Amino acid sequence: LALTAEQRERYARNLLIPGFGEAGQERLAGASVCVVGLGGLGSPAAFYLAAAGIGTLGLVDSDVVELSNLQRQVLHDTDRVGMAKVTSAVQSLAALNPDVRLRPHDERLTRDNAGALLADYDAVIEACDNFESKFLINDVCLEQRKPFATAGILALSGHALFVVPGQSPCLRCVTPSVPQGEPTTSDFGVLGVVPGMLGSLEAFEVIRWLAGLWQPGADGAGALHSVDGGTVRLKTVKIPRRRGCPCAGLWSDAQ
Ligand SMILES: [Zn+2]
């Protein structure tokens, strides 16, 4: 997987990062990441993963581009209203970086297909707009011991969590079961820059893990990153492992 002269130029600013170098770039080139949801969170995540030189990107979405998506879903553009989001995403990402192998999955992630669909990938970006899919991805990634980033957004606020099963707390450590009756962006909207920040943060965590720059927290604690748009405050809350969580059996000190 030695870099070509052209790749050395394309990724010059990656290669200069202390602790990253050619080894980090080659790790990214050999890696595969599945982005589930090609909307507000998936757009920046997929763009930055492709730009960084991830070898293979899976792209999962069954929707078509709508005019009301374009205020935040920057993978897509006005000419593509009515086009399948996976097709639009492939066009945008191939134009950005032809090095990346793109695997479109024009389907909705379900309990029946999630295991087989995610099995091929080294890591997952959860970029869905509903709690059922977020918890489904959590559970499948725990089963497959696969790292994943998850995020939620509403109005002017959002949060993100990166999970390495057995090394950091999972979504069910934070929220044990699927919340019911919570408002969504269909109720209170969302400013496009909010998923822009949180989706970028998801890509950041996954790239750091793939490049070998990620470290588990002390005592296995995780970090929930939050953006509060009311004050434009960014904060990180320490998340402990939860006793009795489905992820508990994956820890090396599991009893
Ligand atoms: Zn857990």
Q: Using the mean position of ligand 1's atoms as its centre, give its distance from the Cα of residue 245 in Å.
A: 5
Q: Is the pTM of the predicted complex or chain greater than 0.85?
A: yes
Q: Using the mean position of ligand 1's atoms as its centre, give its distance from the Cα of residue 9 in Å.
A: 41
Q: Using the mean position of ligand 1's atoms as its centre, give its distance from the Cα of residue 144 in Å.
A: 14
Q: Using the mean position of ligand 1's atoms as its centre, give its distance from the Cα of residue 218 in Å.
A: 16
pLDDT per residue as tens, the chain (255 positions)? 689 999 999 999 999 999 999 999 999 999 999 999 999 999 999 999 999 999 999 999 999 999 999 999 999 999 999 999 999 999 999 999 999 999 999 999 999 999 999 999 999 999 999 999 999 999 999 999 999 999 999 999 999 999 999 999 999 999 999 999 999 888 899 999 999 999 999 999 999 999 999 999 988 999 999 999 888 889 999 999 999 999 999 998 875
Contact 135, 173 (CB under 8 A): no
Residue 96 has a CB neighbour count (10 Å cut-off) of 15
Q: Using the mean position of ligand 1's atoms as its centre, give its distance from the Cα of residue 135 in Å.
A: 11
For strand 32-36 and strand 56-60, is the pairing parallel, antiparallel, or unpaired?
parallel
For the chain, the distance separating the N- and C-terminal CA atoms, rounded to the nearest angstrom, is: 41
CA atoms within 13 A on the CB side of 171: 24
